[in-house]
Amino acid sequence: MTEVVVVTGYDVLAEVYEWLISDAKLPPAEFAASFDDVLSLLPSNAHVLDCSCGTGQLAVGLAGRGMQVVATDASEAMVRRTSELSEEFGTSVRAVQASWEELPVHFEDATFDMVFCVGNSLHHAAGAAGRGAALESMSRLLRPGGHLVLTSRTWELVRSRGSRLDIWDRLVRRDGRDAVVVYRWEIAPRWEDEHHIEIAVAQVDASGLVLVRSELLSCWPYRYEELELELHRAGLRTEVSTFDLEAENYMVVASKI
Ligand SMILES: C[S@@+](CC[C@H](N)C(=O)[O-])C[C@H]1O[C@@H](n2cnc3c(N)ncnc32)[C@H](O)[C@@H]1O
């Protein structure tokens, strides 16, 4: 019998998440600016949802541009950190704890002009069925003609490298503290199997003490062509795709039919 361990995770990593975000995307305005092209599709004071908001940099950056922003995440700690960041920047992001499947319980259909699911989040949906349900929820919340913006790892590349340990070759400094970041990739034999990523952030304080926070996260990879089909099944038409088998990440923008 196969034992499936579903780790929703991120409540521990939420406390040290800024050590995992690149320098360039740490300021909320910069994170939002990385989506300038798609944001030009929006009406002024658009209603937008970031449905895997993490610590809230994108949501707060979008609110700083005058948009009506809702931020959701399955992790309670991530939602708390998003509210704190919003307060710190004087924006009014509405932060709600909700997994993708729960979104239709919280929001009416056709509420949003744009839904973001970015930063390597969708692979946490449990397999093809979980991914389909998640995309269906996101699609329901979009008004006709609205857009889903999704970014993803190129899993074709990740799987080809097999199980491994990635230790970042530089210290990451945040709030005056240095940390070493380690990713342990557990690549299962088959695409459809549950995979794991263990992420550890080892902070070194001024006295040389090391504090390690780590989490084992479950994920279910997908091929780009599967994702395209799944988007289509959820009533979304791909408008833009930066998919490239040789690039680490890609973005898909799909419109609600
Ligand atoms: C890698 S982080 C990305 C966070 C943020 N979007 C960013 O770019 O920094 C993945 C996020 O997805 C959230 N997540 C995982 N499973 C989820 C689910 N089923 N529903 C909603 N959010 C989920 C996690 O809690 C985490 O905040």
Domains along the chain with CATH numbers:
20-154+222-256 (3.40.50.150), 157-219 (2.20.25)
Section 97-119 average pLDDT: 98
Q: Is the pLDDT of residue 17 over 50?
A: yes
Does 159 sit in the ligand 1 pocket, CB within 6 Å? no
The predicted structure's pLDDT at residue 163: 98
Can you tell me which atom of ligand 1 is nearest the CA of 57? 9
H-helix or E-strand spanning residue 105? helix 103-106
Among 116, 113, 114, 71, CA closest to 93:
71
Q: Is the pLDDT of residue 178 over 90?
A: yes
Between CA 62 and CA 39 the distance in angstroms is: 9
Mutate to test the pocket of ligand 1, among 18, 35, 52 (most ligand atoms within 8 A of CB): 52
Can you tell me which atom of ligand 1 is nearest the CA of 17? 9
Tell me the average pLDDT of the chain. Answer: 95
Does 118 sit in the ligand 1 pocket, CB within 6 Å? yes
The predicted structure's pLDDT at residue 120: 95
pLDDT-derived band at 8 (thresholds 50, 70, 90) equals low
pLDDT-derived band at 9 (thresholds 50, 70, 90) equals confident
Does 121 sit in the ligand 1 pocket, CB within 6 Å? yes
Section 219-223 average pLDDT: 98
The predicted structure's pLDDT at residue 4: 38
Can you tell me which atom of ligand 1 is nearest the CA of 75? 25
* DSSP for residue 78: H
Between CA 75 and CA 233 the distance in angstroms is: 27
Section 127-137 average pLDDT: 98
pLDDT digits (tens, 9 = 90+) for 28-86: 999 999 999 999 999 878 999 999 999 999 999 999 999 999 999 999 999 999 999 99
Among 19, 67, 20, CA closest to 42:
67
Q: Are 114 and 46 contacting, i.e. CB atoms less than 8 angstroms apart?
A: yes
Q: Is the pLDDT of residue 6 over 80?
A: no
Tokens 């908001």 -> residue: 53
The predicted structure's pLDDT at residue 5: 39
Between CA 5 and CA 14 the distance in angstroms is: 21
How much of the chain exceeds pLDDT 90, in percent?
93
Mutate to test the pocket of ligand 1, among 124, 137, 141, 197 (most ligand atoms within 8 A of CB): 124
How far, in Å, is the centroid of ligand 1 from the Cα of 29? Answer: 20
Does 73 sit in the ligand 1 pocket, CB within 6 Å? yes
Q: Is the pLDDT of residue 232 over 80?
A: yes
The predicted structure's pLDDT at residue 206: 84
* DSSP for residue 40: T
Does 96 sit in the ligand 1 pocket, CB within 6 Å? no
Section 201-209 average pLDDT: 89
Q: Are 78 and 50 contacting, i.e. CB atoms less than 8 angstroms apart?
A: no
Between CA 251 and CA 112 the distance in angstroms is: 19
Does 131 sit in the ligand 1 pocket, CB within 6 Å? no
Angle, alpha carbons 130-134-139 (nearest 5°): 145
> Which contacts of 18-23 are long-range, i.e. CB under 8 A and separated by 24 or more positions?
18/55, 18/174, 18/175, 19/172, 19/174, 19/179, 19/181, 19/201, 19/203, 20/181, 20/199, 20/201, 21/55, 21/57
Name the token pair of 134: 């998640």
Chain CA centroid to CA 45, Å: 23
How far, in Å, is the centroid of ligand 1 from the Cα of 73? Answer: 6
Section 210-232 average pLDDT: 97
H-helix or E-strand spanning residue 249? strand 249-256
Name the token pair of 106: 């919280």
Q: Is the pLDDT of residue 181 over 60?
A: yes
Q: Whose CA is nearest to atom 10 of ligand 1?
A: 121
